[in-house]
Amino acid sequence: MEKKEKKKKNTKQNIRLLGRFLKGSRLLFAAAILSAIISALADMINPQIIRMAIDNVLGGAAPTQSPLALRLVEKAGGFRYLAEHLWIMALAIVIVAAVKAAAQYLFRVSDTKASETLVKTMRDTLFTHIERLPFSWHGKNRTGDIIQRCTSDIDTLKNFVSEQLTQVFRIVILLILSIIFMLRMDVTLSLIALIPMPLILIYSFIFSRQIEKGFEEADEAEGVLSAMVQENLTGVRVVRAFGRERREKDRFDAQNEAYTNLWFKLARVMARYWCSADVLASLQVMLVVIFGAVRCINEQMLAGEYVAFITYNGMLVWPVRMLGRMLAEMSKAGVSLDRIAYIMSAEEERPSEKSLTPPMDGDIVFDQVSFAYEDSPEMLHGISFRLPAGKTLGILGGTGSGKSTMMALLSKLYLLPEGGGRISIGGVDVKDIDTAYLRRNIGMVLQEPFLFSRTLKENIAIMRPEMSLEEVREVSRSACLDETVMDFAKGYDTFVGERGVTLSGGQKQRAAIARTLAQHAPIMIFDDSLSAVDTETDAKIRAALRSHFAGATVILISHRITTLSQADEVLVLEKGRVAERGTPDELKSAGGIYQQIYEIQTGQHAQEGGRYAG
């Protein structure tokens, strides 16, 4: 019972979500539906014209048509006049066919515009929503699967709405009017025609359940396959470097084969359904043709009525079969809508209630900060320190000691839980600071610098697109990048490729540093972002920071002692706690972790070593 209630609730939410997506395309879909209705009505008229021509005009039978039809005949000159001028009947058929053609044209135009507008709305809405989701959500969901939901699932939903849902009204009209006309012509034959219909509908409903399950499995497998492709393309250098091409190909082949087999399985189910439905529909047509012919021979039915009845029966069978197909397509669309709804139901990053925009040149204070990632042990344990404005703080610690986590908390990529302490800038809790404002004023160079598939100039000026080339070169000089770039054939117009793949590790880091410097933020964080540059370049960049950005508050996270040597104060973290704290000179002789690493890196060992040096 609880499962049914949950599914019912999800269905209501999905319908509301689809209604939200349809904003902007409702009028176009309404025009498409109206055109489909006109087309259906035109289909209903022509068999009556043919019946009238055979039975009443040529056969001389007494008219049994509706009063409206008889008035039209009288205005055209009566049956005798029509018998002498059959071209009028032919013209009527052509006019109705022209109306149907025009309606179908309008349907295709309106439906295509509506469906593409729907796709655009869905993509815009999803992209905007995904960009506002918390950092933790992205960590739990694979990029390839998200992409698949935003592409393949959107196309499945679009195809259902544009190709199936818009035809509902046409199908209903064809069903109702066909049955009405058939009953008016011959009740007995109509009952014979309707006998197999419930069986076809029940059969379609049963198979739609199987199709829904099969499509859900195939769709999820496609998501896994997309994620695998995305990861391998992104990490192609790692794959090549470790010679894993064969193993990754085998993994892909296995997943691709599993995905293909799921579609083969689904194809077999659909083939059984369509073949069985075709057999039932053919049997129904056969019964109508045989019994109709017998009734004509026994003079229980006129020839024109028989021809019209056969035509209406074809219109009856097609909508019934379409309803079965619609159930199957509805099952597929339902799975896709569920997968899209999973993204849309994720709660967006909550804006701060107060949305304050205080000066960002105040002291940074961590007060008893404790934090744990979801379903993980506590990472930080009661971290407390004060970083005066305009000063430089160095942070040293082993892998997993919480260095990057502290910076993520400072920029609100993760939120401190209740009772997890307090982080403030200039005395204002970061929870109360407007998130966008906070991040604009914190320049951050991450451990793994990310460059977009754009030119170097566009990457460096991403926060300030209006920057001139000279301004870009100025910050690049501070990052020791300008000289390197000027040796490139296209200089700052060099296209760096996806994730900056065409640059070396050091060049990517320096480009990311230049991008942060271009931000002119009052707080700058360098999260182990000088690890890929040589010691000399490291010293030059630090000297440029002191010279050109002396008023900024700087946080340097590094495993390299020389990088931290000019910091005003250094924190040494061990297992999420502050193990040591002091100036670099004080810590060099304090007999603790910092001194050990200092001696390793500057003493008799040429290479970096130890658990904190890697």
Co-location of 213 and 304 in the same domain: yes
Co-location of 65 and 178 in the same domain: yes
Q: Does residue 611 lie within any of the structural domains?
A: no
CA 202 remoteness from chain centre: 35
Q: Does residue 57 lie within any of the structural domains?
A: yes
368 three-state secondary structure? strand
Co-location of 337 and 420 in the same domain: no
The whole-number pLDDT of residue 605 equals 44
Co-location of 236 and 381 in the same domain: no
The whole-number pLDDT of residue 324 equals 64
Q: Does residue 547 lie within any of the structural domains?
A: no
The whole-number pLDDT of residue 44 equals 83
Going by the DSSP 8-state scheme, the letter that residue 141 receives in this structure is S
The whole-number pLDDT of residue 532 equals 62
325 to 166, 200, 255, 271, 279: CA distances (angstroms): 14, 11, 29, 12, 15
The whole-number pLDDT of residue 609 equals 41
Q: What is the 3-state secondary structure (H, E, C) of 390-434?
A: CCEEEEEECCCCCHHHHHHHHCCCCCCCCCCCEEEECCEEHHHEC
Q: Does residue 409 lie within any of the structural domains?
A: yes
| First and final C-alpha spacing in the chain | 55
The whole-number pLDDT of residue 611 equals 42
Cα–Cα distance, 593 to 580 (Å, whole number): 8
Q: Residue 227's domain spans which residues? A: 15-344
The whole-number pLDDT of residue 520 equals 84
Q: How many domains in the chain?
A: 2
Co-location of 333 and 357 in the same domain: no
Q: Does residue 591 lie within any of the structural domains?
A: yes
Q: Does residue 29 lie within any of the structural domains?
A: yes
Q: Does residue 177 lie within any of the structural domains?
A: yes
Co-location of 323 and 370 in the same domain: no
Co-location of 381 and 305 in the same domain: no
Co-location of 384 and 356 in the same domain: yes
Q: Can you give the CATH number for the domain in which 116 is found?
A: 1.20.1560.10
Going by the DSSP 8-state scheme, the letter that residue 362 receives in this structure is S
The whole-number pLDDT of residue 19 equals 85
Q: Does residue 25 lie within any of the structural domains?
A: yes
* pLDDT under 70: residue ranges of the chain: 1-9, 64-65, 212, 234, 237-238, 241-242, 321, 323-325, 497-502, 530-533, 548, 603-614
Q: Can you give the CATH number for the domain in which 411 is found?
A: 3.40.50.300
The whole-number pLDDT of residue 501 equals 62
Co-location of 229 and 365 in the same domain: no
The whole-number pLDDT of residue 305 equals 82
Give one word for 351, left, alpha or beta, with left for phi > 0 and alpha for psi -120 to 50: beta
